[in-house]
Amino acid sequence: MEFRALVASVALAASVALAGCNSDEISLANNAKANQPVPPKLVADMTAKDMDLNSPILVRLFKQEAELEVWKQARSGQFALLKTYPICRWSGDLGPKVREGDRQAPEGFYSITPGQMNPQSAYYLSFNIGYPNAFDKALGRTGSQLMVHGDCSSRGCYAMTDEQIAEIYSLGRESFFGGQRAFQVQAYPFRFTPVNMAKHRNNPNMPFWKMIKEGYDHFEVTRQEPKVEFCENKYVFDPAQPPNSSKPLTFNASAKCPAYVIPDEIAEAVREKQQHEAAETAKLISKGVPVARLNTGIDGGMNKVFAAKLPGGETGLSEGGEGQSLSLLALARAPGTIPSHVNPPKNPLLASQEEPVVAVPVTTKLASATPEAKSEGFFSSLARKVGLASDTTATAIPSKPKVIEAHRPVAAPKPAPKPADTRVAAARPPFKPTLSDPAPAPAAKDSLVAGATPIVQSSSFESRFSAMK
């Protein structure tokens, strides 16, 4: 027994030496937060799926779906999905991180070692994604401290609730205790389905996405963690030595690729998958699948289960999804505690569509207002008296501008409503609708006053600055 205790103490000391985070040598589990056990229900799920508590894990992240998947190796040797966690908040846009301060959450393949696990995180618990990897560095991309962490607050990270990160952290910790030296994180803009590839076909990031889709496909067909290498400023997945070659493969992200092959069984399965999906994508495009909007100005996204809990909450660049509406999801239990300082994504595009009113001079009979019973002016009166104009002719320059909604067809003119105090209409707009709910019928149209000061949706400093918090 004394010998076994000695071995255990030596192993623990070794784990402490390996578990530095940001140059600080700290243990994987040196406090109560980092020592929380894997929940019994999750352990039961592992048993049902023929998994061991200490078997390796793999993590996949999807921005558009706002989901984090934890996969775990079963006794068969293949990975199976253990649990999907809704992401509380991610920041930036769909696409890879390029430079420090761009608020982009990374996309690509990253490796997480024990030293990247941080039990003393300011955001409850966290692990460093490891950005930039060799590929990012070869392209001159910069950035640091990009994490998966708690607190539901993101400035280039993938943020979960504290309860969620506690579970994810415990799964990573147990895999390290079981002997896994590093677990892989695969970060994607969306699931690479034919529908998504058709929707985003014009996105300038598509060449990069097609490149990392190779690794996505390798995992999909093998259910094995793909081996990742870099050369010629690109990703290479599952490379192997060519037949009759004894020279070891050496890769350098910015150098020429060595001669390598992809194992036939993997290459053939990936080829069949991609051919089928390419045909489906082409079919969808031919049927007119709309192209996803670019440059919306939205900062990141939030899973709908969290957006439903917030007044005026939006999913941002994440899809609201089908099925339950946000109003129904609001009645369900949240997967963790949402902090009071959470900052949901804002959609300036929706703001401009909600009240896109401008002052438009009335130059056509359709858009003109009923002439008012006021003095018509000296020159107009003179022209009418000498027969150059008639009483029924629409005035070319009205006494007051007509306010119309520029994004809707111009309807038949209505009687001018009773004048109102325009300062009320110019007050702070109400909370915006969610992306998954149909846009409500605008109430501003009937309340606009002909000749009133144009009401233009403003982007206040507070609303713009809040997205940067």
- List residues with catalytic annotation: 149, 157
Question: Which three-class secondary structure string do you get for 118-171?
Answer: ECCCCCCCEEECCCCCHHHHHCCCCCCCCEEECCCCCCCCEECCHHHHHHHHHH
* Nearest C-alpha neighbor of 68 from the set 171, 196, 215: 171
* Nearest C-alpha neighbor of 94 from the set 86, 83, 103, 85: 103
Mention every residue, 6+ apart, whose C-beta is less than 8 A from residue 250. 258
Mention every residue, 6+ apart, whose C-beta is less than 8 A from residue 45. 82, 83
CB 211 within 8 A of CB 234: yes
* Nearest C-alpha neighbor of 142 from the set 198, 101, 192: 101
Q: What region, left, alpha or beta, does residue 234 occupy, with left being phi > 0 and alpha being psi -120 to 50 degrees? A: beta
> Which run of H or E residues covers position 352?
helix 348-354
146 to 25, 104, 130, 154, 440: CA distances (angstroms)? 19, 9, 7, 10, 38
Q: How far apart are CA 226 and CA 220, in angstroms?
A: 10
Q: How many helices (H) and strands (E) does the chain have?
A: 14, 16
* Nearest C-alpha neighbor of 113 from the set 173, 33, 68, 186: 173
Buried b (16+ CB within 10 A) or exposed e, 183-204: bbbbbbbbebebebbbbbeebe
* Sign of the CA dihedral with 40 first, then 42, 48, and 52 last: negative
